[in-house]
Structure 1
């Protein structure tokens, strides 16, 4: 089975779009389609359902996805062992994190890593931090920077980087009568405040738990993906939000919002590296992981 065809399959499974995949893989759409068809002939089933508008994985395709990720990972390992007689590591690893994490932590890490391991290529993907751990569990990434949730799958390894408080933020000036500029004094008043919160993830779980303990039924004005968007909406006066302080400290809008001193405080963010335990057998992943020891 051609390893390039498997890589093309993985790319298409990620984008579910032939045009974007052909650009990403530097291959024509017709050649990509031909490679996928040949792969389907080899496995004996359809891996994708296609029509004029959409591409989706079949049930068989979802099963094959797990095999394909493992196959490519093992291919990289054995290729390195067979072809590299030096002590220098060569290959690539993929890293996923939020935009904030990319310039808060990753710049320094990558700068140090590149000096020690110039032969390893880093594929960096940024996006919603709430998707970070899922992308590791799904095998889409080798390493991610994310907040530590309440419970973690046994298959995951975690290495802490820093702690960041979760803070309530509000607009400095009152734009709407329903959005106060000082913390409410009672649960009844809190329940009337329009809240702008993450759709899911560690911060959402923390604030939901906080509201329950204070016996507050919050008014949810908006649920958004990404903490940076919360800072933006709060700065415009649409409501009160909750974000990690590290996000606020790195936001260009930090001077347009204020931090409320709310008691009891929210549980802080425990931020660190995540990878699969089995991925640490990959010498390139282990090399990046070990870099944190000296920090």
Structure 2
């Protein structure tokens, strides 16, 4: 199987668009289309449903995507193993984290890692922390800074680096919400769409027999702090997000905080990716 074709196919699957996939891989859209057609002819099945604007994977395409990602990971691990005996590791490390994690944890990690391994290029993606585990399990990233879920998926390894409580916050001026601090549970809520914080919030509401007044469901804790600072409602965020927010002076912790359980942040990888000397180098640096 042609590794180049696999890379183009995975890029197309991620982008959902021929033009964007071509831009990512620095080739023309016709090159992506031609290689896809060759793959489909080799496999004797249709991998992608096409229209004028986007593409969607068929059931066979989804199965092949998993094969392609695993094959590319094995290929990268093999290439890296050939360089493991050299004086200096060389290659690329894909890392995913939230914006908050990028300046809360990533700076310290890379400040130590870069001088030790200057030949390793870091490919950094930032986004919703609730997607971190999924991006690792799908093989989209080598390493992620993530929140430990209630149940760690099979085949995943997690090394903790910090603990932070979940806290309810409101605007400094409570009058924007039209309620008193003692009545904050009746006020509009701004919470995450998914992830551990949402799971804890749902469990707490059930325990308290509370039907929440949900004003907004958002992706990203930073957006929650921003909306709360503007007086749209009260929000639930990790304390570490609040501590590092440029808006921390515009919000405040609410009184009578419930115990929402531990919120553990750490580094996660697929166990099989630890065979990669590059991934193993970063993993070994983290002290649990």
Q: CA deviation at 1:177?
A: 4.8
Q: Determine the C-alpha separation between the residues in 1 that align with 2:177 and 2:250.
A: 18
Q: 2:204 aligns with which of 207, 210, 227?
A: 210
Q: How far apart in 2 are the matches of 1:84 and 1:121? A: 16
The equivalent residue for 2:252 is 258
Runs of 5+ unmatched residues, structure 1: none
Aligned to 1:39: 39
- What is the 5 A alignment of 1:124-143? 124-143=124-143
Counterpart secondary structure, 1:46:
coil
In structure 2, the partner of 1:63 is: 63
Aligned to 1:8: 8
Q: Give the direction of change, closer, same or farther, for the CA distance of 1:176–1:85 in structure 2 (3 Å limit).
A: closer
Task: Give the alignment's TM-score, normalised by structure 2.
Answer: 0.94
The question of 1:24 aligning with 2:18 is answered no
Q: Which residue of structure 1 lines up, in the alignment, with residue 120 of structure 2?
A: 120
Match runs of 1:213-228 below 5 Å: 213-228=207-222
What is the CA–CA distance in structure 2 between the aligned matches of 1:183 and 1:269, rounded to whole Å? 25
Separation in structure 1 between the aligned mates of residue 34 and residue 139 of structure 2, nearest angstrom: 25
Answering whether residue 172 of structure 2 is matched by residue 183 of structure 1, we say no
1:67 Cα offset (Å): 1.0
Q: Secondary structure at the match of 2:22?
A: helix
Question: Which of 36-45 and 234-243 deviates more?
Answer: 36-45
CA distance in 1, matches of 2:232, 2:80: 53
Name the residue aligned to 1:104. 104
| Aligned with 1:277 (options 266, 271, 277) | 271
Report if aligned partners of 1:199, 1:223 keep a CA contact under 8 Å in 2.
yes
Distance 2:122 2:177 in 1: 48
SS at 1:183 equivalent: helix
Q: Determine the structure 1 residue equivalent to 2:161.
A: 161
Distance in 1, Cα, partners of 2:265 & 2:85: 37
- Give CA deviations for 1:236-269 in whole Å, capped at 9, x if unaligned: 1010101011111111111111111324332231
Task: Return closer, same or farther for 1:281/1:177 CA change in 2, 3 Å cut-off.
Answer: closer
Match of 1:290 in 2: 284
Q: Counterpart of 1:144 in 2: which secondary structure?
A: strand
Which range moved further: 70-79 or 158-167?
Answer: 70-79
User: 2-side partners of 1:248 and 1:50: how far apart?
Assistant: 44
Q: Distance in 2 between matches of 1:85 and 1:155?
A: 27
Question: What RMSD over aligned residues (CA atoms) do the two structures have, in Å?
Answer: 1.7
Q: Deviation at 1:52?
A: 0.8
Q: Say which SS state the counterpart of residue 285 (structure 1) adopts.
A: helix
1:267 corresponds to: 261
- The residue that corresponds to 2:238 in the other structure is 244
CA offsets, 1:138-191, max 9 Å, x none?
Answer: 11111111111111112111100000111110011135454x35232xxxx72x
C-alpha distance in structure 2 between counterparts of 1:91 and 1:197, whole Å:
39
Distance 2:13 2:270 in 1: 21
Decide whether the 8 Å contact of 1:193 with 1:219 is kept in 2.
Answer: yes
Counterpart for residue 173 of structure 1:
173
Give the whole-Å Cα distance in 1 for the aligned partners of 2:83 and 2:275: 18
How many aligned residue pairs are there?
A: 288
